[in-house]
C-alpha cells in the first residue's frame, strides 16, 4: 500500500512542518463569518487552538460546532474573516502542504470499496509519500491501530465493521497521519463507555506530546474531564471560551441548551459535572408536566 501511495503522490518538494513550540497557535480564526445558503451559520467567531492543548467545541445541535471545525480545516471557505493554520492564511497552503499540518476526522466515515482495515489506516500516511518521513509509515500505522484497539481485525473489510469499529478505524487513520493539528468531529458519538474514555485519553496524550487537538463533543462530562479549554457555541456565536471549570456554569448552560441544569464538582477530581434538573414526579404525562414546571423560564434568555 505504501508503494502505491508513493506512486500516486510522487516525489515533490514540500515544506515539511516543524514540531510546534508549546503554546504556539496552530489554528486561528478572527471575526469569522460563514454562510450556508441564506443562513449565517457562524457570526464573528474568534478562536485559537494552541499546541499542547485540547480544545472542546460544545453547544446544542445547530450551534455551528461542525461548521467551525470545517472552517478550521479549510474544508469550508469563510464568507469573511480570517482562518490561519500554522500562522498562514489557509489559502496560502497547497492541499499537500495542508495535509501535513492538519488531520480531520469527519462525523461519519464511508468507503465505497471494501478496503481492509489496515489499508484504511495506511491512507492516513498518504501526505508523507515521497518524503523522508515515509520510512516511518508502518511504525505509525501500527501505533495508531494499537492506540485505537483495532489491530485484531486489521484484515477485515471496513464495510463489515460495526459503527463503533468504523469510528475507531477512522480515528486510527487520522492518528497515523501525524499532523500536529487534529480536528475531530464527534469522535465518541458511536462509541461505548470504555471506548469514549479511550478516545479522550488519546486526545490528552497527543496534546501532551505537543499537538493541538480540537474536538467536537456533546458529552459535557467528557469535555470537563479531558479538555483544557471549552468553547461554548450558541446560535453561531461564541458564548464562552475558557477552562471548563470556569465556563461550565448553571446559568450559561441552562440558557444555551434551553434546558435547566445544575453544575457541581466531582467529589474526587473536582471536574465539573453537568446534570439536567429533573422533577421527582414519576413517568407519564404528569411527570413531563412537572418537569417543565420545575425549571426556570428560559423563553426570555
What pLDDT digit, counting tens, does each position of 104-117 carry? 999 887 777 889 99
| Averaged pLDDT of the chain | 90
Maximum Cα–Cα distance for the chain, whole Å? 69
Mean pLDDT of 36-40: 93
Residue with cell 502505491: 4
Query: If residue 44 lies in a helix (H) or strand (E), which one and from where to where?
Result: strand 39-50
Per residue in 192-245, pLDDT (tens digit) is 999 999 999 999 999 999 999 999 999 999 999 999 999 999 999 999 999 999
If pLDDT is split at 50, 70 and 90, which confidence band does 66 have? very high
The reported pLDDT for the residue numbered 285 is 55
Give the number of other Cβ atoms within 10 Å of residue 181's Cβ. 23
Least confident interval from 5-9, 26-30, 188-192, 267-271: 5-9
Residue at a domain's end among 229, 248, 267: 248
Nearest Cα neighbor of 234 from 218, 255, 213 is 255
Looking at the fold, whether 256 and 275 belong to one and the same domain comes out as yes
Query: If residue 27 lies in a helix (H) or strand (E), which one and from where to where?
Result: strand 25-36
Enumerate the β-bridge partners of residue 28: 48, 84
Per residue in 130-184, pLDDT (tens digit) is 998 999 999 999 999 999 999 999 999 999 999 999 999 999 999 999 999 999 9
Looking at the fold, whether 112 and 70 belong to one and the same domain comes out as yes
Residue at a domain's end among 248, 266, 293: 248
Query: How far from the centroid of its chain's Cα atoms is residue 113's Cα?
Result: 26
Residues 6+ apart with CB under 8 A from 114: 157, 158, 159, 160
**Whole-Å CA distances, 10 to 3, 14, 43, 248:** 10, 12, 41, 48
Looking at the fold, whether 199 and 277 belong to one and the same domain comes out as no
Its pTM stands at 0.88
Looking at the fold, whether 217 and 298 belong to one and the same domain comes out as no
Residue 295 has pLDDT above 70, yes or no: no
**Whole-Å CA distances, 97 to 70, 102, 103, 173, 221:** 17, 9, 11, 18, 35
The reported pLDDT for the residue numbered 110 is 77
Q: What is the CATH number of the domain that holds 169?
A: 3.40.50.300
Looking at the fold, whether 29 and 143 belong to one and the same domain comes out as yes
Q: Residue 129's domain spans which residues?
A: 2-12+19-248
The pair phi, psi for residue 255, each rounded to 5°, is -70, -45
Residue 9 has pLDDT above 70, yes or no: no
- Locate 137 and state its grid cell: 509509515
Instruction: Give the total number of structural domains in the chain.
Output: 2
Amino acid at each position: 500500500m505504501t508503494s502505491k501511495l508513493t506512486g500516486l503522490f510522487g516525489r515533490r518538494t514540500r515544506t515539511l512542518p516543524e514540531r510546534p513550540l508549546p503554546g504556539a497557535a496552530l489554528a486561528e480564526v478572527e471575526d469569522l463569518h460563514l454562510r450556508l445558503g441564506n443562513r449565517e451559520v457562524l457570526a464573528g467567531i474568534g478562536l485559537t487552538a494552541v499546541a499542547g492543548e485540547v480544545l472542546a467545541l460544545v453547544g446544542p445541535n445547530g450551534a455551528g460546532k461542525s461548521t467551525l471545525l470545517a472552517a478550521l480545516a479549510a474544508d469550508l471557505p469563510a464568507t469573511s474573516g480570517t482562518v490561519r493554520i500554522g500562522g498562514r492564511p489557509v489559502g496560502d497552503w497547497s492541499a499537500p502542504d495542508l495535509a501535513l499540518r492538519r488531520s480531520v476526522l469527519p462525523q461519519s466515515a464511508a468507503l465505497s470499496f471494501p478496503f481492509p482495515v489496515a489499508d484504511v489506516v495506511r491512507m492516513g500516511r498518504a501526505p508523507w509519500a515521497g518524503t523522508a518521513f515515509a520510512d516511518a509509515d508502518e511504525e505509525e500505522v501500527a501505533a495508531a491501530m494499537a492506540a485505537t484497539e483495532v489491530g485484531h481485525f486489521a484484515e477485515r473489510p471496513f464495510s463489515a465493521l460495526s459503527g463503533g469499529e468504523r469510528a475507531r478505524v477512522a480515528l486510527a487513520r487520522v492518528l497515523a497521519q501525524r499532523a500536529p493539528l487534529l480536528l475531530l468531529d464527534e469522535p465518541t458519538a458511536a462509541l461505548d463507555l470504555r471506548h469514549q474514555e479511550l478516545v479522550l485519553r488519546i486526545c490528552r496524550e497527543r496534546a501532551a506530546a505537543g499537538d493541538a487537538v480540537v474536538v467536537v463533543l456533546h458529552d459535557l462530562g467528557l469535555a470537563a474531564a479531558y479538555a483544557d479549554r471549552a468553547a461554548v457555541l450558541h446560535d453561531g456565536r461564541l458564548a464562552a471560551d475558557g477552562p471548563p471549570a470556569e465556563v461550565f456554569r448553571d446559568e450559561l448552560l441552562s440558557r444555551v441548551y434551553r434546558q435547566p441544569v445544575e453544575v457541581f464538582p466531582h467529589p474526587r477530581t473536582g471536574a465539573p459535572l453537568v446534570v439536567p434538573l429533573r422533577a421527582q414526579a414519576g413517568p407519564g404525562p404528569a411527570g413531563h408536566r412537572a418537569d417543565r414546571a420545575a425549571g426556570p423560564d428560559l423563553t426570555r434568555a
